[in-house]
Structure 1
Amino acid sequence: MRVRVAFIAAVLGVLGYEVAAQPYVGSIVEDISTPLAFPPDQDGLTCTGLVWNFRVDAPVLPGNIKQPEMRVHLNNLVLPDNDAFHIEIADTSGNVVETLDRAVLAGRSDIWTLSISSIAAEVSVFGCDALTGLAFEIDQIAFPFEDLELESLYGTSDLIETNSYTGADSDLVTESASSVARLSVIKDRTETYCTAFRIGPDLVQTSSHCISDETDFCETTQIWFDYHKNEFGLPITGQKVRCLEIVDSAAPTQADTTILRVHPEPHAAYKIASFTPDSPQEGDPLFVPQHPGGLPQKLSIADCVRQEDMRTQAHPNAYGHTCDTLRGSSGAPVFNLAGEVVGQHRAGHTNPEVTNCLNLATLPHLLDLSTGVTGQTTTASAEAC
């Protein structure tokens, strides 16, 4: 086996394959030159209802934004002694994205808001206590740019909007895909995107290689359910939740799987995915709902099957598949046509000149970390080609 793996690595080097099992970097963080500080000058402020409001605009460069979306960073947080205060984060239409109160802010010195689906955010402060102890600065903004990199397409792209699929298995696909969510995390002045899926009442699962730093990963991580395009082609979002803690994790070289606890608990409409320990066989049809590039949910189902070659066979913890993905699809569940999870997408390629390269999915019996099985050590790389 050692000789075979070395031979395969040599072949890949000659062919110029580029390995990749990476999230998609889709947003940048920019400083506000003069932070917006609360409390401002007290003149004119009252302690009933709204006491302060400010519009924060994203410094969008024309042509560089893929869709209206931004996050705002609140820093140097100080909370009052009592609870008669809250901060509302809304879009420019007045739709409240989240409410920040003591339950959310306690013990924190800073926080990134959930994403606002516009190029400006309305930050509003309410309550008497806000005038007697609440303090914070708005010092950074994260906003997206268009730079989708090719990865993992097998032949030509067959990716479609999930809710546009009308095949014979559309009901099963729709139900299964409701478990799938977009995950994003801010780290080192960029925001990266992966895919996750619900596996318990308050648990989601994603790829371990999407976890940049276990120490503070959850501090900036958000998960979007039901993020898709409507009948008019406009992106809409269901529930947005925060990461609370990393429950369990298996290394990228093993199962490449991490379980997160989220809050609040996702709505019952979002299915809890079910696993089967049985691996798909060569040629078995599959489908993969996913969020490539952090975009509204896409589906790979056409020409999406298990397939093996000499490269994928070198990975004892994974199998090969022909389902189309892009960067940011990492962590997406691979379903069989019974709606069971039979894998989790973990790796593909980034060579735009080579599109007949198989992708990798983790073997199903390694995915459910609650069983205590967290993968097997192997000397083979976790990437496909």
Structure 2
Amino acid sequence: MRRSAAWVVGICAVVALGGVATAAPKSVTTLRVQAAGAQEKAGTTEQVTRSLSYVSASHTLTLSYPGASYVKVHFSRLALLPGDWLTVTDLEGGQSIDYRFGLRDEWAMSVDGDTAVLTLHGQGVQRAARNAAITAMRDGSPTESVCGGDDSADAVCYRSSDPVAYNNSRAVARLLINGDELCSAWRVGPGNRMLTNHHCFTSTVDARNTEVWFNYECAICGGFAVRRPVKVFADKVLATDPTLDYTLFTVQDFAAVQAFGFLTIDDRAPVAGEELYVPQHPGGDPTILAISSDQDRGGNCRVDDPAADGYAVGTDVSYYCDTAGGSSGSPVLSRRTNKVIALHHFGGCPNAGVRIDLIYREIGSLL
């Protein structure tokens, strides 16, 4: 199930970047900023009214939302002079994203923490006129609260006891779609290929408004601190299908995420009773591993029905591994082979994933 965060209507911000050069026609940049929470919804919305001018004493705008885990800015339109650029950073400047081209109706990469700093750079600061309008600010609820006191097991808890399962969980990413919707996805094979659900997103337009977070896990078992995620944008949708509920896509800046490894498809029909595990980001949480089940013999989750009905007859495998909204798109792996046998997409008891052997028939030539 894809998850979405409840929106809290707040204040819309207008940031006017004004100047005097007649060589640069007046244009408007609108930034909408939001906060996190199915689809898991991930955020609340604040509106503000402030201005930032090329000719003012300061060319920096600071947007702070105490207690938020991230801040994310939306550009309805960004217009810059040639050679100028806008940066969005966290308060300390440790995270910095440059925007050097015009944008329309696109989300900026989020920055961790409760403060985003927007700074205009370039010769145009001295000689040109541009306008920017922030229409909304999105900020996230604190991330550290999800690691302790949960019935599920943090992936890091298995780092020593089950290193193979832990290492495989590193290839599973959290998706933040259009700023406020959550799913999971995973690297399939060594190339620039990832899989999620069709019901998470279906188009390249949506992909390019989707953040892909790797390394988003708790630092210690049962702790409250999370590791800083490595974030890239999704890029192109290569294939998608509503019946088998998959979307195959690429990411931008692939080199930044190669170190997190990849998973391998187990091109066969699943077998009743075989043990499973599901690395996932339920509710957008840091990586969780569902391995145990109090509904299954021996305490390990396993295949309940290897040919359950999904969106078509016999397309799914069912199991009692624990999942939640935001787990959509997670891989379901065999404990015996440590390869993927299903793409999780249904909640309920039992839960269900699409058989990966059926998906592989459609995407194998693209991997």
Instruction: Report TM bin, short chain.
Output: 0.7 to 0.9
Q: Note closer, same or farther for the CA distance 1:125–1:30 as it changes in structure 2 (3 Å cut).
A: farther
Amino acid at match of 1:138: I
1:75 aligns to 2:84 (yes or no) = no
Aligned to 1:136: 132
Amino acid at match of 2:315: N
Aligned to 2:356: 364
Relative to structure 2, which stretch is displaced further, 85-94 or 324-333?
85-94
Aligned to 2:156: 163
Correspondent of 1:36 among 15, 32, 41: 15
Quote the offset at 1:137 in angstroms: 2.3
Provide the identity percentage: 22
Cα distance in 1 between the residues matched to 2:185 and 2:125 = 37
Q: Note closer, same or farther for the CA distance 1:57–1:166 as it changes in structure 2 (3 Å cut).
A: closer
**Equivalent residues in 2 for 1:229-240, closer than 5 Å:** 229-231=218-220, 232-240=223-231
Cα distance in 1 between the residues matched to 2:307 and 2:330 = 24
Q: Note closer, same or farther for the CA distance 1:43–1:334 as it changes in structure 2 (3 Å cut).
A: same
1:126 aligns to 2:121 (yes or no) = yes
Aligned to 1:381: none
Aligned to 2:91: 92
Q: Note closer, same or farther for the CA distance 1:128–1:275 as it changes in structure 2 (3 Å cut).
A: same
Aligned to 1:149: none
**Greater relative contact order (Cα 8 A, min sep 6): structure 1 or 2?**
1
**Equivalent residues in 2 for 1:301-380, closer than 5 Å:** 301-302=291-292, 303-308=300-305, 315-337=313-335, 338-349=337-348, 357-368=349-360, 369-371=362-364
Is the 8 Å Cα contact of residues 194 and 294 (structure 1) preserved in structure 2? yes
Amino acid at match of 1:285: E
Amino acid at match of 1:38: L
Amino acid at match of 2:136: Q
Amino acid at match of 1:268: Q
Q: Note closer, same or farther for the CA distance 1:226–1:76 as it changes in structure 2 (3 Å cut).
A: same
Aligned residues: 311
Quote the offset at 1:228 in angstroms: 0.8
Cα distance in 2 between the residues matched to 1:34 and 1:238 = 28
Structure 1's unaligned 5+ residue stretches are: 1-21, 46-50, 147-156, 350-356, 374-385
Aligned to 1:173: 165
CA deviation string 1:168-218 (max 9, x = no partner)? 4x22112211110001112xxx7110000012532211000112x637312
Amino acid at match of 1:140: A
CA deviation string 1:256-306 (max 9, x = no partner)? 110112101143211121111123311111111100111111110112211
Aligned to 1:19: none
Cα distance in 1 between the residues matched to 2:117 and 2:70 = 13
Cα distance in 2 between the residues matched to 1:310 and 1:329 = 21
Amino acid at match of 2:4: V
CA deviation string 1:25-55 (max 9, x = no partner)? 125375643412224444455xxxxx72111
Cα distance in 2 between the residues matched to 1:316 and 1:172 = 30
Cα distance in 2 between the residues matched to 1:259 and 1:310 = 23
Cα distance in 2 between the residues matched to 1:112 and 1:31 = 18
Quote the offset at 1:135 in angstroms: 4.2
Quote the offset at 1:309 in angstroms: 9.5
Aligned to 1:195: 184
Correspondent of 2:61 among 54, 57, 67: 54
Cα distance in 1 between the residues matched to 2:88 and 2:8 = 18
Quote the offset at 1:362 in angstroms: 0.8
Is the 8 Å Cα contact of residues 27 and 144 (structure 1) preserved in structure 2? no
1:25 aligns to 2:4 (yes or no) = yes
Is the 8 Å Cα contact of residues 30 and 141 (structure 1) preserved in structure 2? no
> Once superposed, what is the RMSD of the aligned Cα atoms?
2.7
Structure 2's unaligned 5+ residue stretches are: 19-51, 143-149, 293-299
Is the 8 Å Cα contact of residues 225 and 237 (structure 1) preserved in structure 2? no
Amino acid at match of 1:116: V
CA deviation string 1:94-134 (max 9, x = no partner)? 222422223xx4xx323312222222211122221455365
Q: Note closer, same or farther for the CA distance 1:316–1:97 as it changes in structure 2 (3 Å cut).
A: farther
TM-score, L = length of structure 2? 0.76
Is the 8 Å Cα contact of residues 159 and 167 (structure 2) preserved in structure 1? no
CA deviation string 1:139-178 (max 9, x = no partner)? 21123459xxxxxxxxxx852100111564x221122111
Aligned to 2:269: 279
Aligned to 2:174: 182
Is the 8 Å Cα contact of residues 53 and 124 (structure 1) preserved in structure 2? yes
Amino acid at match of 2:249: L
TM-score, L = length of structure 1? 0.73
Q: Note closer, same or farther for the CA distance 1:42–1:115 as it changes in structure 2 (3 Å cut).
A: closer
Correspondent of 1:267 among 257, 281, 290: 257
Q: Note closer, same or farther for the CA distance 1:309–1:287 as it changes in structure 2 (3 Å cut).
A: closer
CA deviation string 1:32-90 (max 9, x = no partner)? 43412224444455xxxxx72111123x7xxxx7x61221122321131x22x322222
Aligned to 2:195: 205
Amino acid at match of 1:308: D
Is the 8 Å Cα contact of residues 27 and 145 (structure 1) preserved in structure 2? no
Quote the offset at 1:372 in angstroms: 6.1
